[in-house]
Amino acid sequence: MTDVVVVGIGADGWPGLGEAAREAVAKADVIAGSRRQLSLLPEMPADIVEWPSPLLPALRELLASGKRVCVLASGDPMHHGIGATIAKIIPSVRVIPHPSSVSLACARLGWPVESVTVVSMVGRPLSAVFAPGRRFIVLSEGSGSPAAVAEALQACGYDQSALTVLEQLGGPGERIGPIRDDLDPLNVVAVECVAADPLPIVPGLPDDAYDHDGQLTKREIRAVVMAFLQPNGLLWDVGGGAGSIAIEWMRADRSCRAVTVERDPERAARIAGNAGRLGVPTLKVVTGTAPHALAALDPPDAVFIGGGLTAEGVPETCWQALKPGGRLVATAVTVESETVLARWHKEKGGDLTRLSVSRAAPVGGFTGWRPAMPVTIWSTRKPQDFAT
């Protein structure tokens, strides 16, 4: 059986390794790592393996060699590192961590680690973590990453944010400061988000935060719908319109996911634009007509039906797909769609709520109330023991 140990190494190289880490490297038959990591070691009698691309096939072959293998990783191997990948293949792997670049950056900046959001340039889009007052650290891909972070901040209205580049942390070439032309490829970017016109994280964004053609769940209704939905897990947003429900579902918590289904291609494109601008670019937009467009989707934890209630099979398909214990919320503004809600309420129970919202508007030289169309909301929860 192959004996595998993963050793975290920092920019301080061999001098920065503890006794256990040095012993693991020295006893190895094979030492594997990137060119930069391997260059930090003194001359060793072991076979030296520089990672090829793609990495995974070579990794599996090495881990099955039967030799004593030492794999080098940057910083903490279990934090966005190769350690987690190896642990899936060999659960008994031994890991000797080094302080991660995130820990070192927080130490330099005086930031509590638990208060910081971490995002990788090769992971989810950066705008997904933008929020007023939030601190986050970007794990860079190279010397061009800090400029890419600055561009993303500017595109989303966060151009007043404080941005600090931390290079070669822990090593003799450590530098901390603003973006420069000669940045080292080994860097992380620390950001304190400042928005010129910040939007709240809580549901009920202003209607003008969305690009729309009138097909938009209005602000007050949206806040009530989100309270019924209770964001958690995967949402199906059927009849997306401007995508407001799916977007605010994902904004409520970083772990929330959503799929919005919209039959009109122009509206679908508009939803994608709204999602990117409002910080949830990973929202999945499906252009198609329900219920057919729902067939290939993962089972949802919650469903919102904002359009298509009267189309044959839409409520039935959503109810069947919904996980036991999941919530279903639907809205209606026409007599025909209200009839559907009344029937489903009688059959499945739950709550029926009718909301009427009026907004102040000019009436000549005075101010009066301009009512919007009343909205009926049906909210229910699928029984945990649902089997058919």
Decide: 196 and 208 in contact? Cβ < 8 Å. Answer: no
Spatial CA neighbour of 183 closest among 161, 198, 155, 164: 164
Looking at domain 207-381, its CATH class is alpha beta
298-328, pLDDT tens digit by residue? 999 999 999 889 999 999 999 999 999 999 9
Is residue 35 classed as helix, strand or coil in its secondary structure? helix
| Residue 325: how many other CB atoms lie within 10 Å | 12
- CATH fourth-level superfamily of 3-98: Tetrapyrrole methylase, N-terminal domain (3.40.1010.10)
Instruction: Please say if the pLDDT value at position 358 is more than 80.
Output: yes
DSSP assigned state of 197? S
Decide: 273 and 339 in contact? Cβ < 8 Å. Answer: no
Instruction: Please say if the pLDDT value at position 388 is more than 60.
Output: no
Give the start-to-end residue ranges of the domains of the chain.
Answer: 3-98, 102-192, 207-381
pTM: 0.70
31-88, pLDDT tens digit by residue? 999 999 999 999 999 999 998 878 888 888 888 888 899 999 999 999 888 999 999 8
- CATH fourth-level superfamily of 102-192: Tetrapyrrole methylase, C-terminal domain (3.30.950.10)
